Structure 1
């Protein structure tokens, strides 16, 4: 089923202002900012919304299993049962475009801008990963094709050499002595 460009293919909400091309493996889906964030909870810190690079010290939420930077945890004693801000308030990741008037221009509020930016960074990372996988698959396919072409060329060459050899079913070639004898007899 082909969806309209204004409908999220995950939650099916309508009239989204921003839909992202979210990649899972080799398939892309257009999903809203909130769905990108909920689907990729382990890609960003739910407190500061920075993308997790993998080198930071993290603490895992007992509820959703998302990771939070240790320095973002309010209780600096590293609680054994940590619950992230998203589990405490799930609506925190719901993108709601609230426009404010600023010097005669409508602008997005800071919270919505932060959610949109985080979702865009996640999608960029997913698209880059999908691109790398596609490039690697294409290179492997090209190498396999070259190998198969080489084997086919070698098989054709072997066949051509076999075709040049006389068959056991063919009459033996006449020698010059036999040719001369046959010529004398025919005269």
Structure 2
């Protein structure tokens, strides 16, 4: 049993970034449109079709079951275990979300007497699936951020080395030019100090 927040005084901390509705007691931190956002369990599952079986909520992310053991939804990327779909299997399979316009993941009804929510096994599986997807998404985002940071560091080091080479070449040209000028001036001075034929 979990106490739900008073709906008359919702907090920004419990507002989903996708559906903008206040959902009970938990939001998942997950990358969404390039930012880290807090998203409710239902929206995490809605936005990651193909990452889990929408019937048993077994999470497989990028490792779906073999084709012979799963059914693909006709309308979305959702993948269901054949063993989870009631027999007989339809020739044009639709996942629960596509087959029922009123379907929603993590559908809970607070107790009218004490405003609590009972988490049964079915809801617990959905909660765990959403948390697993959120964790993997954050982990993948962190890995990509490290890779991008390493690339930027290498690019910066390469640019620094190239800039140093340019400065070295420029310094060499300046030094070489100054040397030629001094020699020229000394030669000119030496020539002017020699007696001319006119003095004789």
User: Are positions 1:126 and 2:172 aligned together?
Assistant: no
Unpaired runs of 5+ in structure 1?
Answer: 100-105
CA contact (8 A) 1:45 1:67 kept: yes
Cα deviation, residue 97, structure 1: 7.1
Cα deviation, residue 12, structure 1: 1.1
Unpaired runs of 5+ in structure 2?
Answer: 1-10, 112-116, 196-200
Cα deviation, residue 167, structure 1: 5.0
RMSD value, Cα: 3.3
Cα deviation, residue 125, structure 1: 1.5
User: Are positions 1:42 and 2:53 aligned together?
Assistant: no
Name the SS for the 1:125 alignment partner: helix
Partner of residue 13, structure 2:
5
* Post-superposition CA distance 1:28-79 (Å, at most 9, x none): 1111111111111221111211112235323111244411123323336x53
Cα deviation, residue 118, structure 1: 0.6
Comparing 107-116 with 160-169, greater Cα deviation is found at: 160-169
Partner of residue 109, structure 1:
120
Normalising by structure 1, we get a TM-score of 0.77
CA distance in 1, matches of 2:125, 2:110: 12
Closer/same/farther in 2, CA of residues 4 and 62 from structure 1, 3 Å limit: same
Name the SS for the 1:165 alignment partner: helix
Alignment of 1:75-86 (within 5 A): 75=87, 79-86=90-97
Q: Which has the higher contact order (CA 8 A, sep 6+)?
A: 2
CA distance in 2, matches of 1:41, 1:64: 7
User: Are positions 1:67 and 2:49 aligned together?
Assistant: no
Cα deviation, residue 95, structure 1: 4.0
Normalising by structure 2, we get a TM-score of 0.73
Partner of residue 64, structure 2:
54
CA distance in 2, matches of 1:70, 1:164: 79
Aligned pair partner of 1:143 in 148, 151, 154: 154
Comparing 18-27 with 160-169, greater Cα deviation is found at: 160-169
Q: Aligned residue pairs: how many? A: 175
CA distance in 1, matches of 2:109, 2:149: 40
